[in-house]
């Protein structure tokens, strides 16, 4: 029963583009194995950029496995009348924000991401 919100979220993402507004969901973590942060952005129309954004953090644990966070995400999207959901398959980078949480090219906390591609986790030159 507690997994119902997670299943609902995954099902919405699998349906593909069904109209506007749309929500984007991206996961971030200290490495490729654990997502400690999720960000949901709302896009009102095809020509609009991301409008309202909200994030959730969980430490320790993985936000992808937390039914409470999934329920809050669904409520946030429902409040904006979201018809479509685009969700990343994996973790796309460090949960810390450059210029806010740290300054410089690489996060000093998340050593895993130093010199790595954010989508694949592979080393870059």
Per-residue pLDDT tens over the stretch 92-110: 999 998 899 999 888 899 9
Say whether pLDDT at 15 is over 90: yes
CATH class, range 4-95 = alpha beta
What ranges make up the beta strands (E) of the chain? 22-28, 37-43, 50-57, 84-91
Q: What is the average per-residue pLDDT within 9-25?
A: 93
Q: What is the average per-residue pLDDT within 74-82?
A: 96
pLDDT band at 33 (very low <50, low <70, confident <90, very high): very high
Can you give the pTM of this predicted structure?
A: 0.88
Both tokens of 40, joined, read 């949901």
Distance CA 97, CA 123 (A): 20
Q: Is the dihedral of CA 31, 94, 114, 60 positive or negative?
A: negative
What pLDDT is attached to residue 1? 47
Q: Check residue 122 and give left, alpha or beta (phi > 0: left; psi -120 to 50: alpha).
A: beta
């Amino acid at each position: 029963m507690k997994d119902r919100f997670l299943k609902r979220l995954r099902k919405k993402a699998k349906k593909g583009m069904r109209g506007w507004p749309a929500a984007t969901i991206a996961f971030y973590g200290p490495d490729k194995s654990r997502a400690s942060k999720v960000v949901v952005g709302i896009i009102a129309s095809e020509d609009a950029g991301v409008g309202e954004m909200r994030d959730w953090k969980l430490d320790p644990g993985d936000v992808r496995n937390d039914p409470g966070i999934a329920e809050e995400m669904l409520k946030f999207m429902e409040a904006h009348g979201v018809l479509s959901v685009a969700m990343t398959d994996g973790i796309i980078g460090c949960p810390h924000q450059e210029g806010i949480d740290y300054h410089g090219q690489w996060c000093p906390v998340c050593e895993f991401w130093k010199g790595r591609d954010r989508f694949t986790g592979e080393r870059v030159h």
